């Protein structure tokens, strides 16, 4: 897995995320300048891009839909892993607020995203949850089960190890 640098955020989004072109086309219809700029790879505000093009229109709807398989989610989480591998401070904070914190929408979203996450993303989800101690404590057993730390009973069908 390669790190995704700022200048390749859109290119990799279009290459890796199913439906990405349609999302950018919809954004272009609402805001031609913004959509055209993003289409050319010009993303001056990463947070806005992650919220407007990735988290809200693509990733969260997939995570909410229980009929969407882990395999269907895999391309989004490969893209997210590449984003999480970028250690630049501005980039990292944009990913944290624009993607990872969006998982706080609900328990099932957190668990499903955690189960789909690759190592760096999973560490980011854990780090984000540690900022919310009560939420984290209430989910710790489920997260450990997903990790296979406490393998009590068979693994869940929804959240395989």
DSSP string spanning 20-41? HHHHHHHHHHH-HHHHHHHHTT
Mean predicted confidence (pLDDT) in 40-59: 96
23-60 burial, b at 16+ Cβ within 10 Å, e below that, comes to: bbeebbeeeeebbebbeeeebeebbebbbbbbbebbbb
As given in the structure block, the two tokens for residue 100 are 């990872």
Q: Which two tokens stand for residue 26?
A: 């919809």
Residue 150 has pLDDT above 90, yes or no: no
pLDDT tens by residue, 92-121 = 999 999 999 999 999 999 999 999 999 999
Let me know how long the chain is.
161
Reference 100, options 128, 77, 78; nearest CA is 128
pLDDT at 157 over 80: no
Q: Where are the domains of the chain?
A: 6-147
């Amino acid at each position: 897995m390669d790190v995704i640098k700022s200048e390749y955020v859109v290119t990799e989004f279009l290459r890796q995320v199913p439906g990405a072109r349609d999302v950018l086309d919809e954004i272009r219809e609402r805001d031609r300048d913004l959509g055209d700029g993003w289409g050319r790879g010009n993303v001056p505000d990463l947070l806005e891009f992650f919220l407007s093009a990735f988290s809200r229109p693509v990733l969260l709807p997939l995570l909410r839909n229980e009929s969407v398989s882990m395999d269907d989610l895999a391309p989004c989480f490969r893209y997210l892993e590449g984003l999480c591998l970028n250690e630049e401070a501005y980039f990292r904070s944009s990913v944290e607020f624009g993607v990872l914190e969006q998982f706080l929408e609900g328990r099932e979203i957190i668990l499903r995203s955690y189960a789909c996450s690759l190592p760096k993303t999973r560490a980011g989800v854990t780090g984000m949850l540690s900022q919310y101690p009560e939420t984290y404590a209430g989910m710790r057993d489920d997260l450990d089960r997903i990790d296979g730390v406490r393998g009590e009973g068979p693994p869940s069908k929804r959240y395989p190890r």
